Amino acid sequence: MTKKELSQLYWLNREIEEQQRRLQELECMATSCTSRITGMPHSSNMVDKLSRYVAEIADLRGLIDLNIKRCFYELNRLNRFINSVEDSQMRMILSLRYINGLPWNQIAASIGGNTEDSVRKAHDRYLKRK
């Protein structure tokens, strides 16, 4: 398995975060109603705003649900791959890096007795052999 394949869970999570941020933004735009006081009679634009954003909000929610399902698939795929690794330290490195998303310095601290460079290089050597 390549680094790119192993990193898919990380990128899916970032994508979901961005989609959720956009969803919040759309919901806020759809429900915010500030009226302008001009002295002239006017009607509420609340229904127009809502109808303009409803389809986009529904589509975005569908994309988020789809990506969450992809995350579960990726997590299961990563766990199967990691559990197939014979070396327990390498399993721990792979799990901390690709499932927990930790940087190399935190992985080295979790494992103990290693520098971040030694952990990263061991990881790279292992993936090269596979």
pLDDT for 46 beyond 80: no
Terminal-to-terminal C-alpha distance of the chain = 7
18 SS3 class: helix
pLDDT for 69 beyond 80: yes
pLDDT tier, 29 (very low <50, low <70, confident <90, very high otherwise) = confident
Q: What pTM does this model have?
A: 0.76
- The residue type of 52 is R
Written as six digits, the tokens of 96 are: 């901390």
**Among 39, 117, 122, which residue's Cα sits nearest to residue 88?**
122
